[in-house]
Amino acid sequence: GGATDYQAEDATISQGVAESNHTGFTGTGFVNYDNLVGSYVEFAVNAGSAGNAALTLRFANGTTANRPMDITVNGALVSDELAFDATTNWDTWVTKSVTVPLNAGANTIRATATTAGGGPNLDRITIG
């Protein structure tokens, strides 16, 4: 099948808040991570079969500094401090992709801030 979108504002949010006070998001908003280490968004992702898949994260970072995040899949670290670099302003959204191993059926994908700035604003992820 094709790609599936999962909106961040509909996911499980720990130490962050769903907001819509910038333009250009999809769905009903985005997640503003709290500015601290450990804030995360976790997505429940269903896969038809086991194997590698493309994970694409759509984000904005209106600061001038990288806002790295650890990407874990089913509790295992898949991408260590993946860079989410500055995007000029909070209305400018770009994507970042990594390959992730999925189980058949239910999976959890978590994006956790690893620096004191917290994560970028996260609009959605896409699988496939």
**Residue sitting closest to ligand GCU (CB):** 32
Instruction: List the 69-73 sheet strands across, edge first.
Output: 12-14, 40-47, 105-113, 69-73, 76-82
- Residue 15 is a binding residue for ligand GCU (CB under 6 A): no
Classify residue 21 as exposed, middle or buried by CB count within 10 Å of its CB (0-12, 13-18, 19+): exposed
Q: Judged by CB under 6 A, which of 7, 39, 72, 121 binds ligand GCU?
A: 121
| Shortest spacing between CB 61 and ligand GCU, in angstroms | 8
d(CA 127, CA 40): 18
Number of residues that bind ligand GCU (CB under 6 A): 7
- The residue within the footprint of ligand GCU, chosen from 118, 122, 126, 127 (CB under 6 A), is 118
Looking at residues 83 to 102 of the shown chain, list those that interact with ligand GCU (rule: CB under 6 A).
90
